[in-house]
Amino acid sequence: MISVRNITKDYGDGPILENVSLEVEKGESVVIIGGSGCGKSTLLRCMNRLIRPEQGDILVDGESILDKGTDINAVRRKMGMVYQSFNLFSHLNVLENIILAPMKVAGVPRENAVADAKALLERVGMAGREKAMPEALSGGQKQRVAIARALAMQPEVILFDEPTSALDPTMVDEVESVIHSLVSEGLTSVIVTHEMRFARKVASKVLFMAEKGVYEQGPPEELFDHPRRPLTQRFLYRSRMLEAELRADRLDLYALASRLREFLRRFESTAAQERLISALCDELLYPLFRAKQPAQAVQLRLLCSETSSNHTLNMTVQGVESDPLAEPYLDALNLRILENYASFLFSRKADTGWEICIQM
């Protein structure tokens, strides 16, 4: 359906894409992952010629969209686009946002466009919100309206550019659920995302981008579980890990707890693990930094599993001479509360300080 052939894109400081090729077959869900600045969004925008590559060709249903004789607007009617920033018209209500393109571009009568829009709003879980203005909607609701608007043109393929990156973590699931439903129905899609759990769930093929092109690709179970190339292995390991540091002179346990919870929600997590995050701040970190001989710093590393809810939190505590899981830092009640939520908890002395390992 879409054939990208050896394209190169250069914004003037050297190519961001170089000799990139890929194929998107009808009914496929192709997910593109990679680090910031590797060209994921640029590649997506080249696919519907929002930007033009300097070299190569892009074919949609066998027709080159870079050819001067191509009616690009006709091609774009086959391709919906959903952006990370929603791009709803702020002066139009939900219904008017959705029916505008079908009426103005495709010539659909208003009565038919309204009926189709209502059906689409029900499909994305927004039934009854036709008259709402964008400013009255949450980020997740805006993105679902944006998806409905893209579907209103009955595209053959839909391109998603980081559709959940601008959302509060609590709203990510509702948008991912809508996209997963569309993919399950066989809608051809190309999705740029940083959510690895989501990528594994919806992809029929995953592309990892690095070094100005497609560095490695394959089925999700192959690429995520058995990556062959070193940059892929390194990226996937780093994408599962969150590192943070607490210091006595800039202690913000509330911000740390929010950051840990947000990261956990990208993976399979449980309510008990979220409660453990609060317990760690209240029953471990706060006492460590408020003791008579307080900790100077704590380095944290949260490593999440892609395939289960078994996650590990490692801490290195600096500036304490004795076991941070014992008195005078923690008493029996502190420890009992932590053990109530953690499946495994231990500490040991190391060259860099006291190390604490918590199996969540």
Looking at the structure, tell me whether residues 174 and 188 fall in a common domain.
yes
pLDDT the model gives residue 269: 83
Looking at the structure, tell me whether residues 59 and 164 fall in a common domain.
yes
* High-pLDDT (> 70) share of the chain, %: 100
Q: What is the pLDDT of residues 253-267, one digit of tens each?
A: 999 999 999 888 888
Looking at the structure, tell me whether residues 20 and 76 fall in a common domain.
yes
Last residue of a domain, one of 198, 215, 237: 237
Q: How confident is the model at residue 286 (pLDDT cuts 50, 70, 90)?
A: very high
| Domain enclosing residue 330, as ranges | 240-359
pLDDT the model gives residue 273: 92
* Distance in angstroms (rounded) separating the CA atoms of residues 169 and 265: 7
Model confidence at 156: pLDDT above 80: yes
Last residue of a domain, one of 237, 268, 292: 237
Looking at the structure, tell me whether residues 230 and 247 fall in a common domain.
no
Where residue 79 sits, what CATH number does that domain have?
Answer: 3.40.50.300
Looking at the structure, tell me whether residues 214 and 280 fall in a common domain.
no
Six-digit token pair at 168? 């509060």
pTM of the model: 0.82
For the chain, the average pLDDT equals 93
Q: What is the average pLDDT across 70-94? A: 92
Looking at the structure, tell me whether residues 212 and 246 fall in a common domain.
no
Looking at the structure, tell me whether residues 169 and 253 fall in a common domain.
no
Count how many domains the chain has. Answer: 2
Looking at the structure, tell me whether residues 167 and 68 fall in a common domain.
yes
